[in-house]
Amino acid sequence: MVANVVVVGSGVYGASVSASLTRRGARVVVVDAGSPAGGTSGATFSWTNSCGKQPRTYHDLCVAGMDAHRRLAAEANGDWYHEGGNLEWADHTGREQLRAKVAGVLNYGYEARWLDRAQALDLEPDIDPAALPADEIAYFPREGWVEPTRLIAHLLSRALSEGAELVRDDAVTSMDVTGGMVRTVHLASGRQLPADAVVNCAGPQAGAVAELAGLTLPMRNTRGVLVYTSPVAVSLSRVIHAPDVHLRPDGAGRLLLHTPEVDGAAHVSDTGEITVDQSAVEKVLEAARALYPGVQAATVESVRVGERPIPRDGLPVLGRAADLPNFHFAVSHSAATLCVHAGDLVAAEIVGEDHGTTLVPFRFGRPA
3-state helix, strand, coil in the chain (%, to 5): 35, 25, 40
* 235 within domain boundaries: yes
The pLDDT score that the predictor gives to residue 356 is: 73
27 shares a domain with 154:
yes
Q: Which amino acid is at 164?
A: A
Backbone φ and ψ for 330, nearest 5 degrees, come out as -145, 85
pLDDT at 269: 87
- Domain range spanning residue 288? 222-308
269 exposed, middle or buried (CB, 10 Å; 0-12, 13-18, 19+)?
exposed
Residue 112 sits in the same domain as residue 244: no
Are residue 285 and residue 161 in the same domain, yes or no? no
Nearest to 86 by CA among 228, 236, 232: 236
CATH of the domain at 294: 3.30.9.10
Total residues found in the chain within this entry? 368
Same domain, 184 and 40: yes
Alpha carbon distance 200, 331 (integer Å): 7
Residues 228 and 290 grouped into a single domain: yes
**Helix (H/G/I), strand (E/B), else coil: 190:** coil
Contact between residue 287 and residue 244 where contact means Cβ atoms under 8 Å apart: yes
CA distance 334 to 50: 9
Q: What is the pLDDT of residue 58?
A: 98
Q: How many Å separate Cα 194 from the centre of its chain?
A: 29
Instruction: Answer yes or no: is 8 within a domain.
Output: yes
Residue that finishes a domain, picked among 141, 174, 205: 141
Q: In this structure, what DSSP letter does residue 163 have? A: T
Query: Are 269 and 215 found together in one domain?
Result: no
How do the pLDDT tens digits run along the chain, 368 residues long? 678 999 999 999 999 999 999 999 999 999 999 999 999 998 999 999 999 999 999 999 999 999 999 999 999 999 999 999 999 999 999 999 999 999 999 999 999 999 999 999 999 999 999 999 999 999 999 999 999 999 999 999 999 999 999 999 999 999 999 999 999 999 999 999 999 999 999 999 999 999 999 999 999 999 999 999 999 999 999 999 999 999 999 988 999 999 999 999 999 888 888 999 999 999 999 999 999 999 999 999 999 999 999 999 999 999 999 999 999 999 999 999 999 999 999 999 999 998 778 999 999 998 75
The verdict on residue 157 lying in a domain is: yes
Is 124 part of any domain? yes
Residue 231's CB is within 10 A of a number of other CB atoms, namely: 15
Q: What does the radius of gyration of the chain's CA atoms come to, in whole angstroms?
A: 21
Can you give the pLDDT at residue 272? 83
> Are 133 and 271 in the same domain?
no
The closest alpha carbon to 5, from 196, 210, 209, belongs to: 196
Instruction: Indicate the DSSP class of residue 41.
Output: G
For residue 289, what pLDDT is reported? 97
Give me the residues paired with residue 296 across strands.
Answer: none
Based on the fold, state whether residues 172 and 161 are members of the same structural domain.
yes
**Nearest CA to 63 among 133, 112, 124?**
112
Report yes or no on 134 lying in a domain.
Answer: yes
On whether residue 79 sits in a domain, the answer given is no
Is 159 a domain residue?
yes
Q: Are residues 231 and 289 in the same domain?
A: yes
Closest to 72 (Cα-Cα) out of 339, 359, 368: 339
CA 69/CA 82 separation, integer angstroms = 10
94 and 47: one domain?
A: no
Phi, psi of 113 (to 5 degrees): -155, 160
141: buried, middle or exposed (CB in 10 Å: 19+, 13-18, 0-12)? middle
Task: Write the CATH number for 329.
Answer: 3.50.50.60
Does 111 map to a domain?
yes
Measured distance CA(98)–CA(82) in Å, rounded: 24
Q: Please indicate, yes or no, whether residues 242 and 301 belong to a single structural domain of this protein.
A: yes
Q: Give Cα 151 to chain centroid, integer Å.
A: 11
Q: How many domains does the chain have?
A: 3
d(CA 70, CA 91) in angstroms, rounded, equals 33
**In this structure, are 109 and 253 located in the same domain?**
no
